[in-house]
Amino acid sequence: MPTATEYGNTPQRHFWMRGENPKERVVFDETTGIWNIYGYEESLQVMADTTTFSSVTSRLVPELKEFTEGGLTTLDPPRHTKLRKIVTKAFTPRVVSEMESTIERLAAELLDKVDGDRMDLVADFAYPLPVIVIADLLGIPASEREVFREWVDAMLSGTMDMSLNDESEEYKNEFARAIENIQKLNAFIGEHAESRRTEPRPDLLTKLVEAEVDGERLNNQEVVNFAALFLLAGHITTSMLLGNMILCLDEHPEQQKEVREDRALVPSAIEEALRMYSPFAAISRVTQTDAEVSGTKIPADQLISITLGAANRDERQFADPHTYDIRRDPNPHLAFGRGIHFCLGAPLARLEGRIAMNMLLDRFPHLRCDPAEPPEFLTIPNLTGPQKLPLLLTPEG
């Protein structure tokens, strides 16, 4: 069975997936006009310094302003601090913990539908599970989830790499399609959010609408942007995490055997899969002033890509960085970011991952990848994970 790095259908720019190291920790890409940060310490520096490195990327890509304004991932302090406090009042650890029985029930229902000696992990389980969980949490009716899926499928089918220099019609058209899908999603969520102001329900959207700090509440656009981010990023992260973890365990049968025999290893196996194949491979920042990273000077008003996937394979931070090790400790990976923008949904993704993996291991003692049908990876450069992962479920499958 070939490894994920040998399939040859991962995005070309994901050199770390092929076990390669960057030539430099900070590299300017003249083609795209973007600075790429590949090192671990360098990534920490950029994420920690919100004064020099702003999250308000719409300064350089104004077309995105409508969809990023008021969004937690695209704000700087002090506004970010205030909004995060408001959102945290709605999305509490208790809200996450109370989802455990629901996740178990939904995961069981999905696996009950699997019939025969094979399944596509993504289509049958890894994709629908987090969508249903988060839609249920937000209060989106089951009858409308398929509409959401169509928009997300369209978003994930692209191959566009962000560029400040590409003037081609192909790039403009793909960018326009991406914007159109975001608009549809935001309008869809906006209708639901607005209805919660007059008809509150026991769901997260209502909590977001009603939460306040120092007498201030989120406006409708802020509610929409957070809910859209939560729905998109939340389901994509968990879906890719499950697929990536199955790939890692399949590539290392001896470690899969250990995890099956000792389920206390599942959480650390999940963390190592997050490090090896970070679902969100890169995040963006903009320099507000002239800056220096690892001895490289970066002018003001430059777009920066913090390449988390490469940083999580930095040999200065991780011993044998291209080796999957379920007992790696410590494992301070950056898959969920770091600092003020650390992913709010990380506890939910970890909970879903733990429940789903245990259930898969329980139900399918012979689960393995199909050597005749290698996985197909997402083509979007900033995401890492399979969009198709055929599995065999029986010894003779």
CATH code, domain carrying 118: 1.10.630.10
pLDDT (tens digit, 9 = 90+) per residue, 6-64? 444 566 678 999 999 999 999 999 999 999 999 999 999 999 999 999 999 988 887 77
Q: Quote the distance between the C-alpha of residue 194 and its chain's center.
A: 27
**Which parts of 48-168 are beta strand (E)?**
53-54, 118-120
- Tell me the C-alpha distance between 391 and 393, whole Å: 6
DSSP-derived 3-state class of residue 333: coil
pLDDT (tens digit, 9 = 90+) per residue, 119-128? 999 999 999 9
Q: Give Rg (Cα) of the chain.
A: 21
- Yes or no: say if 374 and 2 are a contact pair by the CB < 8 Å rule: yes
For residue 220, tell me if it sits in a domain: yes
For residue 379, tell me if it sits in a domain: yes
- Yes or no: say if 193 and 209 are a contact pair by the CB < 8 Å rule: yes
For residue 163, tell me if it sits in a domain: yes
For residue 397, tell me if it sits in a domain: no
pLDDT-derived band at 286, boundaries 50, 70, 90: very high
- Tell me the C-alpha distance between 23 and 26, whole Å: 9
Evaluated on CA atoms 182, 187, 188, 190, the torsion sign reads positive
User: Which residues form the domain of 36?
Assistant: 4-392
* Range of weakest confidence among 107-111, 181-185, 318-322: 181-185
- Indicate the Cα dihedral angle 231, 233, 235, 236, nearest 10°: 140
Domain count, the chain: 1
For residue 252, tell me if it sits in a domain: yes
Tokens at 6, concatenated: 């040998």
- Give the pLDDT confidence score for residue 258 in this predicted structure: 98
**What is the pLDDT averaged over residues 210-237?**
86
**pTM for the whole structure:** 0.92
